[in-house]
């Protein structure tokens, strides 16, 4: 499966530090409040320097030193939030020159303007009062910044709640039963909005198409593309009854592969596994770069993996997707789990893996599909923290 370049593989100057991600995302029209608060907070250094010298530094020099210290702090904010990490090298070097530079400026100002040392009796109160003033101003600016950011966060949260409600409509638990097949699917998003999709629909001729898709990434962009994929898939299946069964699913994949590039960002793609469950009891499948299908045999009481190497959808202009028949005897069960289940890691870095899904199926293959899905998802959540959408599709031959 193709994927965007991993963060660790990028050059160091292109990596995004999550520690500073917020500052990088905030527009300047809101970030200036934070920068101003930092400016006044670090200007305290100049007045503190005057205090430890018993308030004898001339007032003008104290103000210049305080201004430079505040400006230096703001420069760090600007570099971290708006420039590449390469700019940090000269900025760090500047810190070693700051002391000698301020000393030279103070001496130059003293000679140029013939400044005299201030009296301690007036200099100490001056420095103390200035510290009080700039701390209060910094506090007020910080409070206003947090208020603005809090309002923005609340707005985003409201939009995500609305999107989450839409997603519940688009990806409800799937439960469908025909004369020969029982289908159950469920998707648990990692965030408020997920990019996984499980769906099943009955065609006019009595056939059933069930599929599970995984959009690369998660969050709102993946959720939007997921909704587009479901709409496109259902539209493409309107005329699926026309043609041979072996062509139904490959044609669906090719249509999706042609449609998705025009409605997504270049690096996004989708993996998909689909099943065509015929009204006569036969079954077909097609895969596009998705995890293996687990086929549990009721006769042999064992499980085998079905793997099909094909390109993901929406990434490259390829064709030639294929579909294969799958022989399901009475009581057989097939299962598909997305990466969000299989790649859950514990504290030691071990993945949940398809083997644990296989063992869970073998332990309860004859039970209810909804209960089996719950057992698998609970096992994954107990194994490690969920970091991606977790989706399961289970089909049993009755």
The pair of three-digit structure tokens given for residue 331, joined into one six-digit string? 């009581």
Alpha helices in 53-200 (DSSP H): 59-82, 88-112, 120-170
224 and 85 in one domain?
A: no
Cα–Cα distance measured from residue 318 to residue 289, given in angstroms and rounded to the nearest whole number: 13
Task: Please report, for the domain that includes residue 372, its CATH number.
Answer: 3.60.40.10
Q: Domain of residue 225: give its range.
A: 171-397
Domain boundary among 146, 163, 180: 163
Domain boundary among 125, 141, 163: 163
Do 347 and 198 share a structural domain?
A: yes
Residue ending a domain, choose from 145, 163, 181: 163
Give domain status of residue 366, yes or no. Answer: yes
* Residue 358 belongs to a domain: yes
**Residue 59 φ/ψ, nearest 5 degrees:** -55, -40
Residue 122 in domain:
yes
Q: Tens digit of pLDDT for each residue in 195-245? A: 899 999 999 888 999 999 999 876 778 888 888 999 999 988 877 666 677
Per-residue pLDDT of 92-127, as tens digits, reads 898 999 899 999 999 999 888 989 999 999 999 999
Torsion of CA 76, 79, 84, 86, to 10 degrees: -50
Q: What is the mean pLDDT of each run of 10 residues along the chain (398 residues)?
A: 40 49 78 94 95 94 95 91 80 90 91 90 95 97 93 80 72 93 92 82 92 84 87 85 78 92 88 95 94 92 87 88 93 95 93 94 93 95 91 96
Q: Is residue 2 part of a domain?
A: no
Please state, in angstroms and rounded to a whole number, the distance separating the CA atoms of residues 332 and 392: 17
The answer to whether residues 15 and 151 belong to one domain is: yes
Question: Are residues 215 and 127 located together in one domain of the fold?
Answer: no
Same domain, 256 and 108: no
Q: Looking at the 3D structure of the chain, how many domains does it have?
A: 2
Check whether residue 92 and residue 199 sit in a common domain.
no
Could you give the CA distance from residue 86 to residue 48 in angstroms, rounded to a whole number? 32
On whether the CB atoms of residues 193 and 387 are closer than 8 A, the answer is no
* 66 & 195 share domain: no
Mark whether 227 and 246 lie in a shared domain. yes
């Amino acid at each position: 499966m193709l994927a965007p370049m991993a963060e660790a593989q990028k050059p160091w100057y292109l990596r995004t530090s999550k520690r500073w991600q917020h500052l990088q995302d905030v527009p300047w029209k809101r970030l200036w409040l934070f920068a101003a608060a930092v400016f006044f907070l670090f200007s305290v250094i100049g007045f503190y320097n005057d205090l430890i010298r018993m308030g004898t530094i001339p007032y003008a020099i104290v103000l210049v030193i305080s201004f430079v210290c505040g400006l230096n702090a703001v420069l760090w904010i600007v570099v971290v939030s708006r420039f590449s990490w390469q700019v940090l090298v000269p900025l760090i070097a500047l810190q070693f020159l700051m002391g000698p530079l301020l000393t030279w400026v103070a001496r130059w100002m003293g000679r140029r303007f013939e400044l005299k040392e201030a009296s301690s009796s007036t200099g100490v109160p001056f420095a103390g009062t200035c510290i009080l003033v700039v701390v209060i101003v910094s506090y007020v600016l910080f409070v206003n910044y947090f208020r603005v950011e809090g309002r923005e966060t609340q707005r985003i949260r409201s939009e995500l709640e609305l999107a989450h409600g839409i997603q519940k409509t688009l990806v409800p638990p799937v439960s469908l039963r025909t004369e020969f097949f029982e289908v159950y699917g469920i998707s648990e998003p990692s965030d408020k909005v997920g990019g996984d999709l499980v769906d099943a629909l009955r065609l006019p001729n009595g056939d059933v198409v069930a599929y599970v898709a995984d959009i690369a990434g998660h969050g709102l962009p993946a959720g939007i593309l997921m909704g587009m994929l479901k709409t496109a898939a259902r539209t493409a299946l309107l005329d699926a009854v026309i043609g041979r069964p072996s062509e139904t699913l490959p044609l669906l994949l090719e249509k999706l592969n042609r449609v998705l590039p025009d409605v997504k960002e270049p690096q996004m793609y989708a993996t998909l596994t689909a099943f065509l469950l015929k009204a006569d009891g036969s079954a077909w499948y097609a895969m596009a770069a998705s995890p293996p299908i687990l086929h549990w045999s009721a006769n042999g009481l064992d499980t085998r993996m079905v793997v099909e190497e094909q390109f993901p959808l929406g990434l490259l202009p390829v064709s030639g997707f294929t579909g294969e028949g799958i022989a399901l005897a009475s009581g057989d069960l097939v299962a598909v789990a997305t990466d969000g289940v299989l790649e859950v890691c514990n504290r030691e870095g071990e993945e949940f893996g398809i083997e644990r899904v296989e063992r869970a199926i073998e332990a309860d293959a004859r039970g209810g599909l909804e209960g089996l899905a719950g057992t698998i998802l609970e096992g994954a959540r107990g194994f490690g923290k969920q970091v991606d959408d977790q989706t399961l599709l289970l089909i049993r031959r009755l």
